Amino acid sequence: MSTTTEQVTEQDDLAATTTAPEHLGPDLPPAGIRLIKSNIGLILTPLIVVFGSIALYLYVKNADKIFQDKRALDWDKNLRPQLEQHLSLTMWSTLFTVVMAVPIGILLTRPKYKRAGTPILAVATSGQAIPAFGLLVLAFAWLGRGPWTTIWALSLFTLLPVLRNTMVGLEQVDKNVIEAGRGMGLTKLQALRSIELPLAVPVILAGVRTALVITVGMASLAYLIGGGGLGETISAGLKLSRDLVLITGAVMTALIALTVDWVAALIEKTLRPKGL
């Protein structure tokens, strides 16, 4: 009888062990739900941009407009050229920032040039320490009026996040991984290209995203020195005391910032090495 009881007990224990994973299964979210949760920002942002654009269009279309409103909100003569100027200022200044900041950041993480990091970071920090308006005025006094003056000012202002993130991303790479690559015969340049930069990409791109969003906001002041952009519409709304014009320029700027950040997030996700 005792033998039979022990056999029954062992069978029950075996059955419980076998069925345990089945009970745990429903508690784990399906792959589709996990995918949605991990990309919720990429899904919601374009929806916000689309609905915001539609809401702005309906608001402007149904609002009571006077002559000054119609002139300031003319799509072909004002809004579209200003939108194109705003995007051009953002893209060119960010491109120059990346071209300057990433190579400098790589150089300053090399043992031979680490001593130069402090003064160079001080210069980059001064760009953000100066108020945006003051920096534009200094650039105007030095380079004169025009969009390229704005581009160089914006590039200096957003140099710090990209430079610092490049340095942090490279310094966080596990030294043992680098040494393993060197032990396999890679040169310093090959290790940088094949190991360090791919592993630092997420941190570097996070700095670029920050620079993009800052640039979109700062580009609204470009009109002060002849750079154009949607700041002209915002300024017109303030001068005319017309909320319709002011809100239109401000909302369009915010939608550009969301769109640019979303595109940068897609690029960051695409370039992120698998497994990180």
What pLDDT does 252 receive? 93
The DSSP code for 229 is S
In a domain, 11, yes or no: no
For 75, counting Cβ atoms within 10 Å of its Cβ (0-12 exposed, 13-18 middle, 19+ buried), the class is exposed
- DSSP of 29-78: PPHHHHHHHHTHHHHHHHHHHHHHHHHHHHHHHHS---HHHHHHT-IIII
96 confidence band (pLDDT: 50, 70, 90): very high
In a domain, 224, yes or no: yes
Q: How far apart are CA 87 and CA 106, in angstroms?
A: 28
Are 107 and 166 within 8 A, CB to CB? Answer: no
The DSSP code for 111 is G
Tens digits of residue pLDDT in 133-154: 777 888 888 878 888 888 988 8
In a domain, 13, yes or no: no
More confident residue, 22 or 261: 261
The DSSP code for 272 is S
More confident residue, 252 or 123: 252
Are 134 and 153 within 8 A, CB to CB? Answer: no
Mean pLDDT of 149-166: 88
Q: How far apart are CA 117 and CA 133, in angstroms?
A: 27
For tokens 């380079």, what's the residue? 143
* Structural domain that includes position 261: 31-271
More confident residue, 41 or 162: 162
Percent of the chain with pLDDT over 90: 17
Can you give 138-188 as a three-state secondary structure string? HHHHHHCCCHHHHHHHHHHHCHHHHHHHHHHHHHCCCHHHHHHHHHCCCCH
Q: How far apart are CA 256 and CA 90, in angstroms?
A: 10
More confident residue, 129 or 58: 58
Tens digits of residue pLDDT in 204-229: 988 998 899 889 988 888 888 888 88
In a domain, 88, yes or no: yes
Sign of the CA dihedral with 236 first, then 151, 169, and 113 last: negative
In a domain, 1, yes or no: no
Count the alpha carbons within 13 Å of 84 in the hemisphere toward its beta carbon: 6
For 165, counting Cβ atoms within 10 Å of its Cβ (0-12 exposed, 13-18 middle, 19+ buried), the class is buried
- Domains in the chain: how many in total? 1
Q: What is the CATH number of the domain that holds 43?
A: 1.10.3720.10
Sequence-distant (≥ 6) Cβ neighbours of residue 160 within 8 angstroms? 121, 124, 125, 127, 128
Q: How far apart are CA 216 and CA 53, in angstroms?
A: 17
Q: Tokens at residue 208, please?
A: 């670029």
Would the pTM of this model clear 0.85, i.e. be above it?
A: no
- Of the candidates 154, 143, 135, 136, the one whose C-alpha atom is nearest the C-alpha of residue 88 is 154
